[in-house]
Amino acid sequence: MMWQQFTPELYHFAAALLFTALSMTRRVDNRRDYWVALSLAGGGLIVCLAAVRAEGLLFLNTYKVDLFAQLFKVLLSMGLFLVVALCSELNGVARRWHSEFYLLLFTCTLAMMLLVSSVHLISIYVSLELSSYSLYVLVALRRDAAMGTQAALRYFLIGIFSSAIMLFGLALLYAATGLTYLSDLVQVLPGVIDQPLVLVAVVLTLGGFFFKLALFPFHFWAPDVYVGAPNQLAAFIATASKVAAVAVLLRVVAATGGQETLLVDSLAALAIISMTVGNLAALVQKDFKRLLAYSSIAQAGYVLIGILCMSPEGADAAIFYALALLLMKFTCFLAVVKIAADGGNPSLDALAGLHRRSPLLALALMMAVFALAGIPPTIGFTAKLLVFSAAMHKGYLVLVLIAMFNVVISLYYYLLIVKAAYLTEPAVETPAPVLSLSARALTTALIIAIVVVGFYPNPLIVMARQASSSLF
Amino acid sequence: MPMQPLPMAEANALSPWQPGVFSLSIYFAAVLVLTIVLLALATWLGERRPSVEKLRAYESGIIPTGTARLRLPVPFFMVAIFFLIFDVEGAYIFSWAVACYDLGWKGWSQISFFIAVLILGLIYIWRKGGLEWGPTFKKR
């Protein structure tokens, strides 16, 4: 057994252990946890980058370390680092729970890293549950206990419901094939995917991942959890958690190999319903985080188009889209965190006059929102272009048309955000959000990344192609 | 790894559903109709004469002395939850113990790691005051 292939996971496990110890010591300085977490998360990103070329099979072949998994581990650790960077004023969480907050963030990242590497049904299930449990507790850590507990309970109930459905699917899958390794399933499933038993088994199994991705019909938790969770955690759920869900969906859907089948039709139906429901519900939202939640549901529908293509182009597009989502959603939540300095939930009205209070933040928000809407010189446009052209290659014209129609609907509420930030005058004068030097640097870097990757995505597309080559 | 024929259930491994489903749906409808008819008849024909005695909560003949929604001290709840956690983990340890000799030192080290994590959890609970019985005035 070669331990060095397992370094990123061990590193994050050690970090989680350190925070367990810190949570049991007497508190000396409230800022200590933040600095420890930030340096550990930065170190984690470096460790993941260093291990990106590792390859191998671990733990009785249930755990596959390949470029696909390592690339997603880099994305996950980047998401963790960015979210921890937002936690300098962790006002949404009571002081005494700060160590636990970081402990669970690291545990959740560890679980998602295990998830993207798992190639066995049981190890997929166990790591999925570990990441979910961390998130349930994290949501409940909100300082406003009534709001946090309600959101956590709702998250938990829908979570156990979907994981029960997934377990049933796994049991059916095992009953139909007698196999548990994805590498074995990929040899059997393509021939039998049209049998009702196998199809039902696969769709139910995917339910657990749909819950993570907040895809219809498992999306009901998203608005309440985004609103009830501390703002930084909502950023984590909207970015890292979605990235992990895309990775595991890609792996499992690729293993079914069900091209041109009922499975593709049912996934397409879910994608269409998800984006339509998300976009239509987002139109009427007043709360900024709730709007972002519905936008997440719609974006999950777009990602699923790339996944259901089951072609190398589709997988590249989905990987690229995951990266784009990470950057776009994180930038939006950067604005949320900075605007709501007291840790509350900002409404859309709280954005009024942002361009005068903080031009840099307003610019970042505008770029992120334009990227989410898919307006050209941004990463979001490139991601949508890749997804839609992959679908067109497979001849899914109707699907792409419906998606385009949805993009037009979504323009309305995305432009509402820009209008609130740039055109609306504030009713009462609110203090400008405080941006430290490092926060300014982070914001500028995000703006540059959104634009530059939109213009020049080639290196990333090449990397995504290399990563997805192990899937097909 | 040599390729071996992969197991796969036959398409007709499960019994066919077509002939049975008709009688099942008839039966289902009959149950539904019968239940509705019985309930409707009982409401329509039956008489209602509520009295204090009839409306009282049934406690096997003993007169109830108050609401059942008592506020129990929270340590009961905490101890019950902690017991449940460690009890469930016991199931894993037992299943290891059954195969203890076959699993060898590798299995021993893995279950030791598992137990170490459990002990860490216990220390955490202890330090955070989860095992205190009665009010504590320690300000953390």
Q: How large is the average pLDDT for residues A152-175?
A: 93
Provide the pLDDT for residue A237: 93
For residue A193, pLDDT over 90 is answered with no
CB A248 within 8 A of CB A209: yes
Residue from the list A20, A176, A197 with its beta carbon closest to the beta carbon of B120: A20
Q: pLDDT grade, residue A258 (50/70/90)?
A: low
Contact list, A197 vs chain B (CB under 8 Å): 9, 14
- Model pLDDT for residues A92-135, shown as the tens digit of each residue: 888 888 889 999 999 999 999 999 999 999 999 999 999 999 99
The stretch A163-183 carries a mean pLDDT of 91
pLDDT for residue A278 is more than 50: yes
Contact, A62 vs A123, CB < 8 A?
yes
Q: What percent of chain A has pLDDT over 90?
A: 55
Residue A434 or residue A296, greater confidence: A296
A52 pLDDT band, cuts 50/70/90, is confident
Question: Given a cut of 80, is residue B19 above it in pLDDT?
Answer: no
Model's pTM, two decimal places?
0.86
Which of A13, A173, A197 best probes binding to B when mutated, by most B CB atoms within 10 angstroms? A197
Residues written for chain A: 472
Q: Tell whether A175 lies on the interface with B, counting CB pairs under 8 A.
A: yes
Radius of gyration of chain A (CA): 21
Q: Which of residues 91-130 of B touch A (CB under 8 A)?
A: 120, 123-124, 127-128
Can you list the positions of beta strands (E) in A20-164? 56-58, 63-65
pLDDT band at residue B63 using 50, 70 and 90 as cut-offs: confident
The shares of helix, strand and coil residues in chain A, as percent rounded to the nearest 5, are 80, 5, 20
List of residues 6+ apart from A376 with CB closer than 8 A: A454
**Per-residue pLDDT at A343:** 79
Q: SS3 sequence, A22-44?
A: HHCCCCCCCCHHHHHHHHHHHHH
- At B4 the pLDDT is 46
Write out chain A residues lying below 8 Å of B139, CB-based: none
Q: Tell me: pLDDT of A326 over 90.
A: yes
Helix (H, G, I), strand (E, B) or coil at A120: strand
Distance (Å, whole) CA A199 – CA A116: 23
Q: Interior CA angle at A152 toward A296 and A351, to 5°?
A: 45
What tens digit of pLDDT does each residue of A373-425 get? 988 889 999 999 999 999 998 888 999 999 999 999 999 999 999 998 888 88
Residue B1 has pLDDT above 50, yes or no: no
Give B70→chain A minimum CA distance, Å.
22
Mean pLDDT of chain B: 82
Domain ranges of chain A: 3-468
Q: Who has greater pLDDT, A389 or B134?
A: A389
Cβ–Cβ contact A184 with B under 8 A: yes
- Tokens standing for A349? 């009205």
Provide the β-strand partners of residue A440. Answer: none
Give yes or no for a contact between A237 and A300, defined as CB atoms under 8 angstroms apart: no
| Residue scoring higher pLDDT (B57 or A220) | A220
Give me the phi and psi of A432, to 5 degrees please: -70, 140
Q: Where are the beta strands (DSSP E) in chain B?
A: none
Percent of chain B with pLDDT over 70: 83
Percent of chain B with pLDDT over 90: 28
Structure tokens belonging to residue A144: 């406003």
